[in-house]
A = this chain, B = another copy of it.
């Protein structure tokens, strides 16, 4: 007769794509989750080394081998899988896992857009002229628990959002939903740490070229996260996705972790006091375990949420220029990726959403 904490009763979890930063962060978080056991670590290629060789910080903590992907092996040895693979490559993996009944939390962009044509428009390529698993789109839940909690409960496939979308949506969606700002003419100026670019070295993240400067990239409506931001903001505003177009400018900053998103919006009533916007955030996020609406005068700082699943949000009205500014700060690898994925698993299972995610931010 086993005790409630016995390992045999824990949910068995696989990570597919264990050698990237979101895979490594899943390891860190799941090690502290009381209801799961990490049983499988896989990567697309190069089976062999152990997790603590791929990630030296896991030395002494995780010695699982990193195997080549095998859907049957996952289905045999795990109940739940996190897929942390590039877009396009993730969809067939997810399809294989779903076909075997594995609850799947996908951290790629492959199932975030409800519309297959949108996926093709933003992610299609000669290699992928069609969505690789369009038949699954209808069942995928966009994994922001604060917005889609009910749909997550019991879901089989969760499309965990990107880091920029999570920050941008959490900052402005409540103001759109409350009708306080217009969905027309939104400007999103977002800043990211270099870990958002992944673990593959390149000149853009080569320390000497990145450590002491800032630059925008993929400006002018070309960054793919634009699509899911528009989808979710349109939903919040009660519009069709095609009727919302945002200007989104991502920046690479000389730091490792953190996303700060500033969303500029036109107020629907220019005479409304600044407090109304902050209060609307407070009302929307009352009871949310991870979202802190800051006090009047306080402003989000990514340093204050680093390493945690927490989000600091604030809204201010610039009366002179008649512009509302909504700001969110989060850790791109936690609430912007792996932490949110764990939160989604908790929501799928009906567990307290803070399981495995209770750690305070690391400061300084």
Which residues of A are at the interface with B, using a C-beta cutoff of 8 A? 21, 24, 27-28, 31-32, 55-61, 185-187, 189, 191, 193-195, 199, 201-203, 205-217, 219-221, 226, 245-247, 249, 251, 253-258, 260, 262, 264, 266, 274, 292, 294, 298-308, 310, 312, 316-323, 325, 327, 329, 358-364
Q: Are B318 and A247 in contact (CB under 8 A)?
A: yes
**Least CB distance, A15 to chain B, in whole angstroms:** 14
**Least CB distance, A255 to chain B, in whole angstroms:** 5
With CB as the reference atom, state the residue of chain B lying closest to A195. Answer: B208
Give which listed residue, B21, B294, B310, contacts A208 with CB less than 8 A: B21
Q: Are A303 and B215 in contact (CB under 8 A)?
A: yes
Return chain B residues, CB-CB under 8 Å to A363: 24, 28, 55-57, 209
Return chain B residues, CB-CB under 8 Å to A209: 303, 363-364
Q: Are B207 and A60 in contact (CB under 8 A)?
A: no
In the assembled complex, 8 residue pairs joining A and B whose CB atoms fall closer than 8 Å, in A order, are A21-B364, A57-B308, A187-B189, A195-B364, A201-B203, A212-B303, A212-B306, A221-B318
**Least CB distance, A31 to chain B, in whole angstroms:** 5
Q: Are A213 and B325 in contact (CB under 8 A)?
A: no
**A277 to B332 CA separation, bound complex (whole angstroms):** 33
**Least CB distance, A117 to chain B, in whole angstroms:** 16
Q: Are B59 and A323 in contact (CB under 8 A)?
A: no
Q: Are A255 and B212 in contact (CB under 8 A)?
A: yes
**Least CB distance, A278 to chain B, in whole angstroms:** 11
Q: Are B219 and A254 in contact (CB under 8 A)?
A: no
Assess A254 versus B257: contact at CB under 8 Å? Given A31-B360, A306-B212: no
Which of A24, A60, A205: most chain B CB closer than 10 A? A60
Return chain B residues, CB-CB under 8 Å to A320: 221, 226, 245
Across the A-B interface, the 9 shortest Cβ-Cβ residue pairs: A213-B303, A208-B364, A215-B301, A57-B363, A201-B201, A189-B189, A57-B361, A220-B316, A247-B323
